[in-house]
Amino acid sequence: MAKQQGGRVVGLLAWFTGVVVSLVVGQAMIGGVLTLPGWLGGATNAGMVISSAIGWIVVITTIVGAVMAVLKK
């Protein structure tokens, strides 16, 4: 019983950490702190737009996934 409870705590902590990291990375891409590498066109205007779009996709899918996980339990 104690082992199962400890596993749940570690699982919840890992899930929460994943959500936070995903949101931070998505926000950094939206803000322009993280961009595509130069050889993928990250230094161009189009690369910045693509990076921002990917950041929004990461943020939205992370929020939707977190809400779905919370509602499932």
d(CA 61, CA 38): 26
- Number of structural domains (the chain) is 1
d(CA 32, CA 49): 9
Domain assignment of residue 54, given as a range:
2-72
Contacts of 22 by beta carbon, 8 Å cutoff, 6+ apart: 58, 59, 62
For 9-64, write each residue's pLDDT tens digit: 888 999 999 999 999 999 999 999 988 888 888 888 998 999 999 999 999 999 99
Q: For tokens 């950490």, what's the residue?
A: 17
pLDDT band at 6; cut points 50, 70, 90: low
* Stronger pLDDT, 73 or 33, i.e. the higher one: 33
